[in-house]
């Protein structure tokens, strides 16, 4: 039984893409180095993909079986062109923040600086500085 594409974990997709892009087998350690996947993630993904009959394992290498290559070709749009929005953290929108000229002095927001900071600053003996 072939997995439902929407439920296919990200590491499974990465491994499928890597195997499909090569015509030879791939060492498991290469997957770890290239994608920074943990041994547990790789082991789980390999077991998962083997259970669907998409890949085979030989020693510490994996390769696509012909049926797996055919399945990937049939589902290539969903696998390779899918929208991965939501998997990654959103970045801060810097375009909505005010822009300052380079020669504008830095002024922190009043609420971000404590009163105690200014009291200590005033109590310093500036003649020693």
* Distance between CA atoms of residues 63 and 110, nearest Å: 60
- Per 3-state DSSP, the chain is made up of helix, strand and coil in percentages (nearest 5) of 50, 10, 40
Is this prediction's pTM over 0.95? no
* Per-domain residue ranges of the chain: 5-80
How many Å is the Cα radius of gyration of the chain? 27
pLDDT band for position 75 (cuts 50, 70, 90) = confident
Residue 49: other Cβ atoms inside 10 A: 23
- What is the arithmetic mean of pLDDT over 102-123? 80
The whole-angstrom separation of Cα 3 and Cα 86 is 20
- pLDDT tens for 33-54 read 999 999 999 999 999 999 989 9
pLDDT given at position 95? 66
**CB-based contact 10:34 (threshold 8 Å):** no
pLDDT digits (tens, 9 = 90+) for 2-31: 556 767 888 998 999 999 998 899 999 999
Q: Which two tokens stand for residue 63?
A: 């390769």
Sequence-distant (6+) residues with CB within 8 A of 84 are 10
Judge contact between 42 and 62, C-beta under 8 A. no
Strand partners, 62: 26, 57
Q: Residue 57: beta bridge partners?
A: 62
pLDDT tens-digit profile of 87-105?
A: 455 556 666 667 778 888 8
CATH T-level fold of 5-80: Arc Repressor Mutant, subunit A (1.10.10)
Q: What is the DSSP letter of 98?
A: P
């Amino acid at each position: 039984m072939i997995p439902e594409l929407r439920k296919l974990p990200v590491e499974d997709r990465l491994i499928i893409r890597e195997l499909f892009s090569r015509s030879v087998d791939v060492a498991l350690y290469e997957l770890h180095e290239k994608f920074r996947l943990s041994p547990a993630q790789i082991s789980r993904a390999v077991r998962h993909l083997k259970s669907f009959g998409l890949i085979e394992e030989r020693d510490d290498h994996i390769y696509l079986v012909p049926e797996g290559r055919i399945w990937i070709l049939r589902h290539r749009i969903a696998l390779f062109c899918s929208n991965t929005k939501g998997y990654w953290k959103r970045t801060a929108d810097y375009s909505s923040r005010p822009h300052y000229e380079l020669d504008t002095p830095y002024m922190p927001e009043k609420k971000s600086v404590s009163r105690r900071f200014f009291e200590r600053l005033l109590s310093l003996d500036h003649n020693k500085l």
